[in-house]
Amino acid sequence: MAEAPQPSRIAADIDFEAEGRQAGYLRAPLSRNRSGWGIVEIPIVVVKNGRGPTVLFTGSIHGDECKGPIAVSELARTLRPEAVQGRVIMLPAVNIPAVLAGTRLSPADNRDTNRCFPGTPRGGFRERVAHDLDAVILPVVDVSVDLHTAGHSGDTALSTNMHRIAAPALMARTLAAAEAFGAPFNVVFGGVDEGAALTSAVERRGILSLGTELGGWGRVNREGVRIARRGIRNILGHVGVIEGEPDAGRQDGGAAPGTCMSPPAAAMPSPRRRAPSSRQTLPAIGCAQASRRDGCISSRTSTARRSSCAAGTTACCGCRPGPAGWRAAIPSPS
């Protein structure tokens, strides 16, 4: 007989069905040296008004990735119920112990919270948090946007990302949402899905899932914050939770983001040991490899392409434009 689902070990002083704006905490038990019955308070804000889609924004599952918390916190402070049709759930700092420590991993267990989904209520801190997200919050969510940067381990182009999804309709909706987000690049991962990330848990439930990578090296830059701030509002507009058309235009006047198919994980470059110059961006989106392996399809402007290729991946400049729009060029999932 199948084992009954285990209740979450995390308490919430939020009623997800209540109308209006609520700000509170998810309270996760964490026994530690100086507090045997300690609690970690994870901030959460929910804004609900009537019927409509539910959108989840999560930031800082990795604690050294600052742009998500900045953008989601700002939205949480300013979003008014009367401007919403539906529900917005905002967790600007999921891994709050790591945020306070400025580290990728939580000092509570020195493990990666984004490598343990769907989690378990019987596990340690990270497993309990993952389980609560997967078993309590995701079932009420229609669209999830998980905001990341590369933290201290590298740098990335400003981009959304997603996995290849077997369901064509959901894949198409995901690509449309990525385009609406308005990052300069959209990346479809073909070989880096461990199945243990939040985005994977979202996809398993058939929910529209977007991730982002918005720079890195533990830094905050103005353009990354701008893209994050605008992107999450663009998503709300795209799904009809707030009014207004998404603004996905580029600052340099170009209109369309580009997309690349990522290489298999084995082809990903090793992290560098030193900080790069400001023009370098990690080829984590895999343009160089993808252009050879999967057919990198890019509608980026030449300016953006040169910037992305500054890490020395000269093969990236072999990216070919998507002649009929990049959606049509995405291979069918196998």
3-state secondary structure of 262: coil
- Which letter does DSSP use for residue 33 in this model? T
Least distance (Å) from Zn ion to the CB of residue 68? Answer: 9
**Considering beta carbons, is residue 22 or 200 the nearer one to Zn ion?**
200
Q: With binding defined as CB under 5 A, does residue 62 bind Zn ion?
A: yes
- Amino acid, single-letter form, for residue 313: T
Q: With binding defined as CB under 5 A, does residue 164 bind Zn ion?
A: no
Distances (CA, A) of 322 to 25, 183, 248, 325: 45, 17, 18, 5
Pick the stretch among 10-18, 50-58, 61-69, 180-188 that binds Zn ion (CB under 5 A): 61-69
**Considering beta carbons, is residue 65 or 134 the nearer one to Zn ion?**
65
Tell me how far apart the alpha carbons of residues 219 and 192 are, in angstroms, rounded to a whole number.
24
Q: With binding defined as CB under 5 A, does residue 126 bind Zn ion?
A: no
For the beta carbon of residue 188, count every other beta carbon within 10 angstroms. Answer: 26
Least distance (Å) from Zn ion to the CB of residue 157? Answer: 15
- Amino acid, single-letter form, for residue 197: A
Least distance (Å) from Zn ion to the CB of residue 134? Answer: 17
Residue 197 CB contacts under 8 Å (≥ 6 apart), including other chains: 114, 115, 117, 211
**Considering beta carbons, is residue 284 or 319 the nearer one to Zn ion?**
284
Pick the stretch among 46-54, 143-151, 184-192, 261-269 that binds Zn ion (CB under 5 A): 143-151
Pick the stretch among 147-155, 172-180, 221-229, 313-321 that binds Zn ion (CB under 5 A): 147-155
Q: With binding defined as CB under 5 A, does residue 67 bind Zn ion?
A: no
Pick the stretch among 66-74, 145-153, 165-173, 193-201 that binds Zn ion (CB under 5 A): 145-153
Pick the stretch among 52-60, 63-71, 89-97, 263-271 that binds Zn ion (CB under 5 A): 63-71
Residue 255 CB contacts under 8 Å (≥ 6 apart), including other chains: 248, 249
**Considering beta carbons, is residue 220 or 317 the nearer one to Zn ion?**
220
Tell me how far apart the alpha carbons of residues 76 and 92 are, in angstroms, rounded to a whole number.
8
Cα Rg of the chain, angstroms? 19
**Considering beta carbons, is residue 65 or 294 the nearer one to Zn ion?**
65
Q: With binding defined as CB under 5 A, does residue 148 bind Zn ion?
A: yes
Count of residues of this chain found to bind Zn ion when the rule CB under 5 A is applied? 3
Long-range contacts formed by 20-27: CB under 8 A, 24+ apart: 20/47, 20/48, 20/49, 20/81, 21/45, 21/46, 21/47, 21/79, 21/80, 21/81, 22/46, 22/47, 23/76, 26/91, 26/129, 26/132
Q: For the window 202-231, what string marks contact with Zn ion as x by the rule CB under 5 A?
A: ------------------------------
Between strands 185-189 and 143-148, the pairing is unpaired
Pair of tokens at residue 89: 């759930």
Pick the stretch among 54-62, 88-96, 231-239, 251-259 that binds Zn ion (CB under 5 A): 54-62
**Considering beta carbons, is residue 65 or 127 the nearer one to Zn ion?**
65
Least distance (Å) from Zn ion to the CB of residue 62? Answer: 4
Give the residues lining the site for Zn ion (CB under 5 A): 62, 65, 148
